[in-house]
Structure 1
Amino acid sequence: MIDQLLVKVGMADLNIACDGAQLKTTGLGSCVGLTLFDPLERIGGMAHVMLPSSEIAREAKVNLAKYADTAIPELLERMIAAGAKRERLKAKMAGGAQMFAMSSQSDTLRIGPRNVESCTSILSAYHIPILSRDTGGSFGRTIELDSSNGILRIKSMQYGVKEI
């Protein structure tokens, strides 16, 4: 058996993979693991999005992978540079949990749902369909995208493993 290459995507990070390599990120709570896949070229991309908008950025040099509004365009740019076509891209996402019970429903405390909403809105603006998602809840996830077929494997302590 041949071991497939594993490309790790850290928190507030993004990367692409092809030739059957696996993209993997762990620790998705309120963060969203957003994946894109070009089925013809078999190029996959993954972003570990922490926050919905770079408008709240306080760092001197903005980490493009940290925010939905900057991570998605950056991921698109890298995938297109590798040979993917935007019109063929399909998205899947997981995460966006509400990890802590809050007595207040203040919008600033709804990080997970806001991350999902922001990613959904940005993908819609690019006309990239979301084929499936495993978002919300109050539990963490680890995800792996197979760049040979676009299958997204989601692992959680509460629900085991599922593929979308």
Structure 2
Amino acid sequence: MRNDDHIIGIGDVAASARPEAVLKTFGLGSCVAVILYDPLRTAGGMAHIALPEAAAGHTSSRAQPLAPAYYADKGMELLLRHMDRIRRGAGTGGLQARLVGGASMMPNSRYLIGKRNVDVLRQLLAHYAIPLVAEDVGGELSRTVFFEIANGKVTVASPGRKHIVL
């Protein structure tokens, strides 16, 4: 792994304005990677979202709190803060979004977590007026994502399928 490679774990966020940086996340099932890119400033970021929202009144019973971007709303807010910082206060203007993941890993599940993750993230992108320019979502396969900051290229790898470039 190079020094400019960043691995985004479940509930994590990273952003960079270094052209040589590559952001990666592995094994997306029902989770969704939301990727923001600013082609004018060559800056981008990624969040690995696990769930659409916390249940009302939910508090974690874990000894360790959940990662900051575990839920879509908090994850999107955090990703936007990271992007604003590296873009020096540019707001949401000029950003483009891509979504990857949201698979149905348990086809008979009534919870439809993957679909709900995608739906909530689409609503959040619309709320922030960030255009969704590409997506690879749904289905029943896991996905690994590689995001190159230099050119905004997002490559999606899945077992048994050719790589997709968004």
Q: Secondary structure of the equivalent of 1:71?
A: helix
Percentage of identical aligned residues: 34
Q: Aligned partners of 2:93 and 2:139: how far apart in 1?
A: 31
Alignment size in residue pairs: 158
Q: Which residue of 1 aligns with 2:163?
A: 161
Deviations 1:29-71 (A, max 9, x none): 0000110001111111000000001345432755331011110
Query: Which TM-score applies when normalising by structure 2?
Result: 0.89
Structure 2: which amino acid aligns with 1:32?
V
Instruction: Assess if the C-alpha contact under 8 Å between 1:47 and 1:72 holds in 2.
Output: yes
Q: Secondary structure of the equivalent of 1:131?
A: strand
Deviations 1:99-153 (A, max 9, x none): 1121x6x3xx200000000000001000000000000000000001111111110
The match for 2:100 among 89, 94, 105 is: 94
Structure 2: segments with no counterpart, 5+ residues: none
Q: Aligned partners of 2:42 and 2:4: how far apart in 1?
A: 14
Structure 1 ranges of 4+ moved more than 2 A: 54-58, 60-64
The match for 2:154 among 120, 137, 152 is: 152
Pairing 1:74–2:78 present: yes
Q: Which residue of 2 aligns with 1:28?
A: 28
Q: Which residue of 1 aligns with 2:9?
A: 10
Q: Aligned partners of 2:128 and 2:103: how far apart in 1?
A: 24
Q: Secondary structure of the equivalent of 1:87?
A: coil
Q: Aligned partners of 1:126 and 1:49: how far apart in 2?
A: 17
Instruction: Assess if the C-alpha contact under 8 Å between 2:104 and 2:115 holds in 1.
Output: yes
Instruction: Assess if the C-alpha contact under 8 Å between 2:10 and 2:67 holds in 1.
Output: no
> Which stretch shows the higher mean deviation, 29-38 or 75-84?
75-84
Q: Aligned partners of 2:140 and 2:113: how far apart in 1?
A: 12
Q: Secondary structure of the equivalent of 1:76?
A: helix
What is the deviation of 1:19?
1.8
Structure 1: which amino acid aligns with 2:11?
A
Structure 1: segments with no counterpart, 5+ residues: none
Larger helix percent? 1
Query: Which TM-score applies when normalising by structure 1?
Result: 0.90
Instruction: Assess if the C-alpha contact under 8 Å between 2:17 and 2:87 holds in 1.
Output: no
Instruction: Assess if the C-alpha contact under 8 Å between 1:17 and 1:44 holds in 2.
Output: yes
Structure 1 residues 4, 39: CA separation in 2 closer, same or farther (over 3 Å shift)?
farther
Q: Aligned partners of 1:126 and 1:97: how far apart in 2?
A: 24
